[in-house]
Amino acid sequence: MEKTKVFVGLGSCGIAAGAQDVFNYLDEKIDTQVSELEVTSCVGMCYAEPVVEIERGGKRVRYGYVDKKFADEIIQSLEDGVFPDKNIITETDAGKAYLDRQVKIVLKNCGIINPESIDEYLKAGGYEAIKKAMHDYTPAEIIEIVKQSGLRGRGGAGFLTGQKWSFLAGAKGDKKFLVCNADEGDPGAFMDRSVLEGDPHKVIEGMLVASYATGAGEGVVYCRAEYPLAIKRLNKAIKDAEDRHFLGDNILGTDFSFHLHVKEGAGAFVCGEETALMASIEGKRGFPRLRPPFPAESGIQHSPTNINNVETYANISYIILNGADAYNKYSFKKSYGTKVFALAGKIKRGGLIEVPMGLTIGEIVEEIGGGTDSGRPVKAVQMGGPAGGCIPARMFDTPIDYDSINATGAIMGSGGLVVMDDKTCMVDVARYFLAFTQKESCGKCTFCRIGTKRMLEILTRITEGKGVPEDLDRLEELAHHVQKTSLCGLGQLAPNPVLTTLKYFREEYEAHIYDKKCPAGVCKPLITIRIISDNCTGCTACARVCPVHAISGEVKKPHTIDPDVCTRCGLCIETCNFNAIEVV
Amino acid sequence: MGMVNVTINGIDMQIEEGSTILQAATKLGFDIPTLCHSDSLEHFTSCFMCAVKVDGGRGNLVPSCATKVRDGMSVTVESDEINESRRMALNLLLSDHCGDCLPPCEDACPASIDIRGFLALVREGKELEAAKLIREKAPFPGALGRICPRPCETACRRNRVEESVSICYMKRYISDTELEECGEAQLPDCAPSTGKRVAIIGAGPAGMSAAYYLKLQGHDVTVYEAKGKSGGMMRYGIPYYRLTDQTLKDEFDAIERLGVTVHYNTVVGKDITAKKLEVEHDALILAIGAQGASSMRVEGEDSSGVYSGIEYLGNLAEGKTPDIGNEVVIVGGGNTAIDVSRSAIRNGAKATILYRRTRAEMPASSFEIDEALEEGVNIQFLASPVHISSENGEVTVSCIRMKLGEPDASGRRRPLPVEGSEFEIKATAVISAIGQKVVPDGIIDTGVGLTRWGTVQADPKTFMTDRPGIFACGDCQTGADIAVRAVGNGRKTAYSVHQYLSGQEVTGEPVLFNSTMGALEDVSEDLFIGIEKAEKVKMPVLEKTRRITTFEEMERGFSKEEARAEAARCLECGCDAAVDCKLRTYATRFNADQQYFGGEIRQYQVDYSHEKIKMEINKCINCGACVRACAEIKGLSVLSFVGRGFTTRMTAPFGRSLVDTACDGCGECVAVCPTAGIMFKKEYRIETDV
Amino acid sequence: MGLKTIDRAVRDEAKDIVREIGAEQEKVIPLLQEIQKRHSYLPEDLVEAVAQEIDVPVSDIYGVATFYSQFRFTPMGKHLIKVCKGTACHVQGADLLASALQEELGLDGEGTTDDMNFTLETVACLGCCSLAPVVMIDGKVYGKLTSAKVKKLIKGYSDGKN
């Protein structure tokens, strides 16, 4: 009899949500005579983690919110030979809303196959694209197909991938490099991590096709060190691929060779910029340098080099197998295919989604994501991380395509999409991003090194209630200078979070400066925390957690907060179970 | 290599393929500023001073030092947009540049006297050279060395160790020594005559200073003075016990000796009109001072027995002994009030000053207040006259007590009367010393404009009035102010007049950008590590009983030993690179503003450990030229970029001092440093120069 | 010129590390990662010895080491706590977690406790945004935390229960 398969989604976020514990528990308890436990990765429904799937007789059912108690029920149902009928997350309204608008090209295998098994990848049609490429097409034809597909770089800048490849193919040099940029540095983005954890072979295969098309014999995946699981799975995948002769010398018995290895980053956001990334691969400080020369002329060790990001490579096998037409069937204006987004922040259903170009931001946030987790109104989404911007809710009919997003002042970016509600302070968000870019500035250029620092100081001043009216003009003036006169993308784009929030949420800045108020109730020096006596039960929980003993009151009687002592840390609000503490 | 066609600011040119935009523009004569670039190093593109705009591009600016020309490329290398970007780059760099270009004393001196320089010369026993050095900026070292309120000493960094260097008295010492050794002031030679004629109204510090510098330039200068002697307020507003007739004679007569003609007792507007002077000369300088006393706005202030301070001091200067009786009340809190009260004491009277605020707000110099108190002057703080009457030689001053309210426009707390606190003082005379105003009657016919404060309207940089060829300086332009400013402005006016007379554009004396580490109280404690305390040398003074009974000069001057010991206390602030610092040059050229942003600034951090090289990390602008020179030219790599973000620095690894590295002091880094981040030590430089 | 002298044992270890990782300039970061893996930080003498071993100026290596946030120059505590400062975590109150941790550990910002039990660091983003706010302790990620939960978590580590 065929065994029932039980899949546990062991992506980093799943593990963080307790999936490893669930796995271990099932592993211990499951009757291996009837059932088989399988590892898979994140299926993208992170809001429902830990996720377990049960497959029997060609039917595969997905369950969410799996804890030990539910695991026991699963075990019982396995023994009974039935499917549990609760916690199913796909067939519900919410599940359908989350999944129905998605088109999975990049994420097709994620959460479905075991990422640590090359056989499963092969079974899912893996390495057919490279075979087809080598068998059916010349390198020039491959480049043409990729060009025809309209695939644009998914790292953020959106340069045409086929064209980039043609530069490398046309470059002179005995040695050429191919780099996969997996230094996913945008805070709030985890597409690349999920893809590498969930389907590493797909990335490898994309690079293989690129190598075949461009003549690059050596490849590097530059992956950030904060992704240990991705690195582990990628290394295993490379080794397995080598063993099966998909990598190394004489690939598939031909004289085509491609050597691939992983280079671990060491924590520097700017290394996502391609010239800095190459410097880092060479073992140097990640200083970006002037382009030209472009990497295709002079890259790693002065050899021609092509750099694409994880998601870009993960699109390749689909394009080769299905053709450019099938790919650009999903198109909107000049953007083709799908885009993976990491949906996070104040969102009901956060996770990893893949949508066709042309879907609107509103459709993503409201339909797929289900609005805010709090039920409060959505205020904005932040797209593109520190280089991107905040798009207000009133512009949620903006479609997902490179040009429309750029027109808002944000950027498509790598796919981080952080949702904010009315309790998110936009000045604080701008300050947050500036603090980030400031810390991550390589320290070389004047405008980025000092300019972003001065912008941060102005923003900090505003959030502390010390802003003066001239600050806004000065901030804008400086932002434009930094944008215009920085060497690399980090500096050029660093002002975006400030400029977009100034553009769309200027009144919030003005409230901080003129009224000395933070409308969202976030900026500590501008808020007061107080107890709503009608709601307070006198349970004393808040008084006990207050680190500065600012809360006093008798048991079972309404408490009060001494505003002079209170540090506005918010611990009491977090602790109160009766909605009795408010920010004013 | 082939040639390519390039257009730079509309000019077509051909240049070798592979050249940079910077090279192309330089060939055409454009002066593109660069800081991180050096011809001896690989390009680095960090400072962005050389940013230019490639026409038809994305609209961003690119570093011209590294961007190669392409055939058909059109570039803008100079435009308002680019200049603004360069200015902004400098504003940013300077906002994180912790250093003083000028010593704070020199920066504070309204006449910009090279104080550090003359103190060094005194230390070396070169007093005559020191006198010459001072005269480059101010022709009255002896007078200023006696009466200056010393803004330099207030700014002196030595205050943070114990007390300021005694700068003011040192000028007096230098001048006294010169007189002793040479018998008279040693003046430079005048340039050959230009044939241009300049008239100056007023032989005070501003007018005579202007006369001096114009004469040195070879112009024919005639001064018209209403009074019988030169010196202006230095003579008629300051009593002889502080500044003697002899010193004034020595210094002002010297200017006449140079060939300047002074017509005394010639009142312009009466004896001759200003209009006529204007017509008969190639340029006219108005330096008429602020000779009118301000009103106390107190009922009865024109009663008999009520005088103004300048009237009283003027009489004293002319050798008269005004009859003020034995009980004098002085109203006011400035230096004039102090001078009047101390003179009154010397005239044998009891002196009481009424001042409406407290000592903290008193504008008079603190040391002078001390001296006045020491001599027995009684100061009634928080008191103000409300009514004055006199009868039979007795003056009755009705006063009221005051209290301090909210700060007013000047930042000082506004005095408010305390109801019911009225009191009376009986006196033999009341002297008001609450301020002076310009009396423009004699010059009004020139048609120059006046400000709403009644001063002559003139450009604060060129000192030219709204009438071309007519200039104004001194108190009549600034309002009543200290002598040293009048002297400095006189010199600056001379510079403008010279420009005017030579047919140049009148731009005024060039002002170089000056970086500052901040106010005295804000500079880092680290600046003073290792400095041994040394007491400020006290000025010997006449013993008190003698002091309060005569107008004999009270201060006796330093001995050679005292002077040298005092000069040795100078910390030699200011930057050794100030003369050839590219950062400063560009900051001047692009009119940068160090305070534009404010914010966190790097801390004072100097590495003196190496025998030859001094690293002032606090002045570094992160161009990395030193790091690159050491690696690329020397092959040593002693330094590297350390850290990330705003706090990135060029240092030796693991916080090591330079002496703990392989540095051999070759100086390749020094040669490429655009500012004073890394330099040869001064003692080493002197050694190698020999 | 006071150049450093380095112990024999340190030199041997440097040789060992270089043998394992490689001696090319491009190996500088992996070499540093190996040193830190062995020592939990970058000891000055060992970095110097490795620099000499691979003939790269120590200043260059130090410059590289200070560029990347992964490297530290003081020994790490027994447990490494990384507070995620990603965007999602930020809007979900990561600052609260950080201050709760600082309070619990008696630290003023990032650093190591006096008893060498904990090192507190922040990290740009752990990529577990849907579980924000998150904290990583010794490589294990904990999500959807509150100040109270994180304090409890830490207590577990100090008691040796976790």
C99-112: pLDDT as tens digits: 889 988 999 989 99
Alpha-carbon distance of C60 to A362, in angstroms, equals: 49
Determine the pLDDT at residue C130. Answer: 84
The winner for highest mean pLDDT among A24-38, B219-233, B535-549, B598-612 is B219-233
Q: How far is C56 from chain B (nearest CA, A)?
A: 9
What pLDDT digit, counting tens, does each position of B112-141 carry?
Answer: 999 999 999 999 999 999 999 999 999 999
Rounded to two decimals, the pTM is 0.92
Rg of chain B in Å (alpha carbons): 30
Determine the average pLDDT of the residues in C20-36. 96
Question: Is the Cβ pair B662, C3 closer than 8 Å?
Answer: yes
Pair A285, C63: CB distance under 8 Å: yes
A479 pLDDT more than 90: yes
Q: How far is B583 from chain A (nearest CA, A)?
A: 13
C13 pLDDT more than 80: yes
Who among A16, A282, A285 is closest to C131 (CB)?
Answer: A16
Question: Is the Cβ pair C129, A189 closer than 8 Å?
Answer: yes
Determine the average pLDDT of the residues in B69-74. 96
Determine the pLDDT at residue B446. Answer: 95
Name every chain C residue with its beta carbon within 8 A of the beta carbon of A269: 124
Q: Tell me the two tokens of residue A154.
A: 């998914």
Amino acid identity of residue C30, one-letter, is: P
Question: Is the Cβ pair B88, A481 closer than 8 Å?
Answer: yes
Q: Is A261 helix (H, G, I), strand (E, B) or coil?
A: strand
Q: Where are the domains of chain C?
A: 8-67, 79-158
C79-158 maps to CATH 2.40.40.20? no
A528-583 maps to CATH 3.90.730.10? no
Number of neighbours of residue B481 by Cβ within 10 angstroms: 17
B70 pLDDT more than 70: yes
What pLDDT digit, counting tens, does each position of B368-396 carry?
Answer: 999 999 999 999 999 999 999 999 889 99
Question: Is the Cβ pair B644, A439 closer than 8 Å?
Answer: yes
Determine the pLDDT at residue A158. Answer: 87
Q: Is A89 helix (H, G, I), strand (E, B) or coil?
A: coil
Determine the average pLDDT of the residues in A207-230. 95
Residues 6+ away with beta carbon under 8 Å from A328: A148, A149, A150, A336, A337
Alpha-carbon distance of A109 to B104, in angstroms, equals: 70
What pLDDT digit, counting tens, does each position of A144-159 carry?
Answer: 999 999 999 998 778 9
Calculate what percentage of chain B has a pLDDT beyond 90.
91
Number of neighbours of residue B332 by Cβ within 10 angstroms: 25
The residue length of chain A stands at 584
Map tokens 């606190």 to a residue: B421
Fold of B582-685: Alpha-Beta Plaits (3.30.70)
Fold of A426-515: de novo design (two linked rop proteins) (1.20.1440)
Map tokens 């959030």 to a residue: A463
Q: Is the peptide bond before C133 cis (omega within 30 degrees of 0)?
A: yes
Fold of B295-302+321-433: FAD/NAD(P)-binding domain (3.50.50)
Name chain C's partners: 3 or more CB pairs within 8 A.
Answer: A, B
**CA A153 to each of CA A162, A412, A491, B607, B686: distance values in angstroms, whole numbers, following the listed order:** 9, 10, 20, 48, 60
What pLDDT digit, counting tens, does each position of B649-683 carry?
Answer: 999 999 999 999 999 999 999 999 999 999 999 87
**Segment holding B496, helix H or strand E:** helix B483-501
Q: Where are the domains of chain A?
A: 4-91, 118-326, 332-421, 426-515, 528-583
Alpha-carbon distance of B342 to B371, in angstroms, equals: 9
Determine the pLDDT at residue B690. Answer: 35
Number of neighbours of residue B420 by Cβ within 10 angstroms: 7
Q: How would DSSP label each residue in A278-337?
A: HHHHTTS------SSSPTTTS-GGGS-EEEEEHHHHHHHHHHHHHHHHHHTTSEETTEES
Question: Is the Cβ pair B652, C1 closer than 8 Å?
Answer: no
Tell me, yes or no, if C27 comes closer than 8 A to chain A by beta carbon.
Answer: yes
Alpha-carbon distance of C89 to C94, in angstroms, equals: 5
Nearest C-alpha neighbor of B212 from the set B276, B147, B285:
B285
Determine the pLDDT at residue B688. Answer: 45
Tell me, yes or no, if A189 comes closer than 8 A to chain C by beta carbon.
Answer: yes
Determine the pLDDT at residue C162. Answer: 60
When pLDDT is cut at 50, 70 and 90, the band that residue C129 belongs to is confident
Pair B312, B342: CB distance under 8 Å: no
Alpha-carbon distance of A577 to A468, in angstroms, equals: 39
Determine the pLDDT at residue B245. Answer: 95
Q: How far is A482 from chain B (nearest CA, A)?
A: 9
Q: Is A389 helix (H, G, I), strand (E, B) or coil?
A: strand
Determine the pLDDT at residue A238. Answer: 98
Tell me, yes or no, if C1 comes closer than 8 A to chain B by beta carbon.
Answer: yes
A4-91 maps to CATH 3.10.129.10? no
Number of neighbours of residue C52 by Cβ within 10 angstroms: 16
CATH number of A332-421: 2.40.50.100, 3.40.50.620, 3.10.20.600, 3.40.50.300? 3.10.20.600
When pLDDT is cut at 50, 70 and 90, the band that residue B689 belongs to is very low
Name every chain B residue with its beta carbon within 8 A of the beta carbon of C66: 642-644
Determine the pLDDT at residue C1. Answer: 41
C-alpha dihedral (B362, B364, B365, B368), degrees to nearest 10: -110
Q: Is B39 helix (H, G, I), strand (E, B) or coil?
A: coil
Q: Tell me the two tokens of residue B378.
A: 């009684």
The residue length of chain B stands at 690
Q: Tell me the two tokens of residue A20.
A: 């490893």
Exposed / middle / buried, residue A222 (Cβ in 10 Å: 0-12, 13-18, 19+): buried
Interface test with C, best of A183, A269, A432 (most C CBs within 10 A): A432
Name every chain A residue with its beta carbon within 8 A of the beta carbon of C33: 225, 264, 266
CATH superfamily of domain region B104-186+524-567 = Alpha-helical ferredoxin (1.10.1060.10)
Architecture of the A118-326 domain: 3-Layer(aba) Sandwich (3.40)
A-C contacts (CB, under 8 Å): 164
Q: Where are the domains of chain B?
A: 3-78, 104-186+524-567, 197-291+438-501, 295-302+321-433, 582-685
Who among B637, B643, B644 is closest to C59 (CB)?
Answer: B637
Tell me, yes or no, if A187 comes closer than 8 A to chain C by beta carbon.
Answer: yes
Higher pLDDT, A226 or B489: B489
Name the class of domain B3-78: alpha beta
Question: Is the Cβ pair B640, C4 closer than 8 Å?
Answer: no
What pLDDT digit, counting tens, does each position of A290-347 carry?
Answer: 999 999 999 999 999 999 999 999 999 999 999 999 999 999 999 999 999 999 999 9
Alpha-carbon distance of A138 to A132, in angstroms, equals: 10
Alpha-carbon distance of B36 to B624, in angstroms, equals: 7
Higher pLDDT, B586 or C141: B586
Taken in order A318, A321, A325, A329, the sign of the CA dihedral is: negative
Number of neighbours of residue B124 by Cβ within 10 angstroms: 12
Alpha-carbon distance of A321 to A125, in angstroms, equals: 10
Name chain A's partners: 3 or more CB pairs within 8 A.
Answer: B, C
Question: Is the Cβ pair B48, A454 closer than 8 Å?
Answer: no
Within 13 Å and on the Cβ side, how many CA atoms surround B92?
31
Do B197-291+438-501 and B295-302+321-433 show the same overall fold? yes
Architecture of the B197-291+438-501 domain: 3-Layer(bba) Sandwich (3.50)
Alpha-carbon distance of A458 to A464, in angstroms, equals: 10
Determine the average pLDDT of the residues in C87-107. 89
Alpha-carbon distance of B396 to B346, in angstroms, equals: 23
The nearest alpha carbon in chain A to C88 belongs to A345
